[in-house]
Amino acid sequence: MTTPYPVLGRAAAPPEHESTSGTFYFWVDHEQTVERTQIVTTQSTVGGRVITFVGVVQEVYRRSRQKDIGEEAARFDGRSSSTPPFASEGVTFAEVAILRTDPVAHTPPREESEVRLATPAEAAKGYGLDRMKEGQRLDVGLLRNGGTAFAGRAAIDLDFLLGKNGGHLNVNGIAGLGTKSTLLLTVNWLLLREAERLRLSRPSDANRLQVVPVIFNVKNYDLFFIDRWNKDYQADELTYKADWQEMGIPNPQPFSQVTFLAPQQKGLANSINISNRPDVKPYSWSLKDIIEHRLFTFLFSEDDINDANFGGLVGEMEDWLTNETDAGPKLRPDRPQTFGKLLDEFRENKDSLFTDYVKGTKGKLLRRLKYIVQEGDGVLRRNDSTGNPLIIPTVGRESPIVIDLHGIYQTPSLQRFVVAAVFHQIMQAQSKKQVKGLRYLITLDELNRFAPKDSRDPITNLLETVAAEGRSQGVILLGAQQQASLVKPRVIENAAVRAVGRSGTLELGAEVWKFLGPSARSAAAQLLPEEKLLYQPSFREPMLAKIPFPPFALSENDAAQPANAPGYLSRAEADF
Q: List, for residues 221-241, the tens digit of each pLDDT value.
A: 999 999 999 999 999 999 999
CA distance 342 to 136: 52
Shared domain for 172 and 230, answered yes or no, is: yes
CA–chain centroid gap for 267, Å, is 37
Shared domain for 425 and 527, answered yes or no, is: yes
Q: What string of H, E and C letters represents the secondary structure of 116-129?
A: EECCHHHHHHHCCH
pLDDT value at 406 more than 80: yes
Shared domain for 222 and 235, answered yes or no, is: yes
Dihedral angle over CA of 4, 245, 163, 534, nearest 10 = 60
Strand ranges inside 65-125, DSSP E: 90-102, 114-117
* pLDDT tens figures, 81-123: 888 877 778 899 999 999 999 999 999 999 999 999 999 999 9
Segment 184-202 mean pLDDT: 96
pLDDT for position 563: 46
CA distance 427 to 462: 9
Indicate whether 94 belongs to any domain: yes
Shared domain for 338 and 412, answered yes or no, is: no
- In this predicted structure, which of 84-88, 171-175, 201-205, 332-336 has the lowest mean pLDDT? 84-88
DSSP string, 489-506: HHHHHT-SEEEE-S--HH
CA distance 17 to 139: 36
Indicate whether 100 belongs to any domain: yes
* pLDDT tens figures, 155-187: 999 999 998 899 999 999 998 876 899 999 999
Segment 10-23 mean pLDDT: 95
DSSP-derived pairing of the beta strands 559-562 and 228-230: antiparallel
Q: Where are the alpha helices (DSSP H) in 326-358?
A: 339-349
Contact residues for 444 (Cβ-Cβ < 8 A; gap 6+): 216, 218, 419, 450, 477, 478, 479, 480
CA distance 42 to 26: 10
Shared domain for 362 and 412, answered yes or no, is: no
Shared domain for 275 and 294, answered yes or no, is: no
H or E segment and range at residue 561: strand 559-562
Last residue of a domain, one of 321, 351, 376: 376
Higher pLDDT, 435 or 336: 336
pLDDT value at 537 more than 70: yes
Cα torsion angle, 29, 35, 39, 44, sign: positive
Indicate whether 251 belongs to any domain: yes
Shared domain for 255 and 346, answered yes or no, is: no
Shared domain for 365 and 393, answered yes or no, is: no
Indicate whether 151 belongs to any domain: no
Domains in the chain: how many in total?
Answer: 3
Shared domain for 407 and 503, answered yes or no, is: yes
Through-space distance between the first and last CA atoms of the chain, rounded to whole angstroms: 38
Indicate whether 138 belongs to any domain: no
DSSP string, 155-193: EEEHHHHBSSS-B-EEEE--TTTS-HHHHHHHHHHHHHH
451: CATH: 3.40.50.300
What is the identity of the amino acid at 205? D
CA–chain centroid gap for 450, Å, is 15
Three-state SS at 389? coil
Model-level pTM greater than 0.85?
Answer: yes
Last residue of a domain, one of 376, 411, 438: 376
CA distance 96 to 59: 7
CA distance 290 to 288: 5
Strand ranges inside 253-358, DSSP E: 259-263, 281-283, 322-325, 328-331
Last residue of a domain, one of 376, 408, 441: 376
CA distance 217 to 223: 6
Shared domain for 481 and 552, answered yes or no, is: yes
CA–chain centroid gap for 213, Å, is 13
Shared domain for 542 and 423, answered yes or no, is: yes
Indicate whether 226 belongs to any domain: yes
Indicate whether 572 belongs to any domain: no
Indicate whether 1 belongs to any domain: no
Shared domain for 118 and 174, answered yes or no, is: no
- The answer to whether residues 117 and 39 touch, using CB atoms and an 8 Å cutoff, is yes
pLDDT for position 566: 40
Q: Which domain holds residue 18?
A: 7-132
